[in-house]
C-alpha cells in the first residue's frame, strides 16, 4: 500500500487532534466508575472518610494529606502530588506504586476508565 505525503500528514494531524479528547476523560463516566468501584471504601463528600479517605479535593493535593484519615506508612512515604500522571499510575496498580498500602483495590486496567475517573476527581473541589 502506498501512502502519499499529504495522506500521512492528514493522518498525523487527525491523530494529534484526537489525543486531547481521550486524555481529558469524561467526568460523567468517571462519576459512574467511582460510584460502582470506589464508593464502598471512599466518599466523594468533603471531610467524610470511610474505610479509605475522602476523594474530595484529592486532585492537586499531596499524598497522605486528607484530614482525619490514618494513612499507611507506604502512602506517607510516597510523597507525590495527585495529578494526571500520578493518579493514572495509582489507578493502574496502587500496590505496585506504594507497596504496603492498605488499599486492596487491584486497579483499573482500562486506560480510558482511568482518564474518566481522573476527570471526575478534578470536579471534586
Identify the three-state secondary structure at position 47. coil
pLDDT, mean over the chain: 86
Q: Residue 32, class by beta-carbon neighbours within 10 Å (0-12 exposed, 13-18 middle, 19+ buried)?
A: middle
| Residue 23 confidence (pLDDT) | 56
d(CA 26, CA 79): 27
Identify the three-state secondary structure at position 81. strand
| Residue 24 confidence (pLDDT) | 85
d(CA 118, CA 116): 5
User: What is the DSSP code (8-state) at residue 83?
Assistant: S
Asked whether the predicted pLDDT for residue 72 surpasses 70, the reply is yes
In CATH, which of 1.10.760.10, 1.10.10.10, 1.10.1580.10, 3.40.50.150 is domain 26-123?
Answer: 1.10.760.10
Domain ranges in the chain? 26-123
Amino acid at each position: 500500500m502506498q501512502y502519499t505525503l499529504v495522506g500521512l500528514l492528514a493522518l498525523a494531524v487527525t491523530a494529534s487532534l484526537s489525543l486531547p479528547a481521550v486524555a481529558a476523560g469524561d467526568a460523567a463516566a468517571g462519576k459512574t466508575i467511582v460510584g460502582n468501584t470506589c464508593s464502598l471504601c471512599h466518599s466523594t463528600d468533603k471531610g467524610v472518610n470511610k474505610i479509605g479517605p475522602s476523594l474530595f479535593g484529592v486532585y492537586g493535593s499531596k499524598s497522605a494529606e486528607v484530614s482525619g484519615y490514618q494513612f499507611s506508612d507506604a502512602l506517607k512515604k510516597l510523597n507525590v502530588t495527585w495529578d494526571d500522571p500520578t493518579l493514572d499510575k495509582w489507578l493502574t496498580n496502587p500496590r505496585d506504586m506504594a507497596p504496603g498500602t492498605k488499599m486492596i483495590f487491584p486497579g483499573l486496567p482500562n486506560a480510558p476508565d482511568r482518564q474518566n475517573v481522573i476527570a471526575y476527581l478534578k470536579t471534586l473541589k
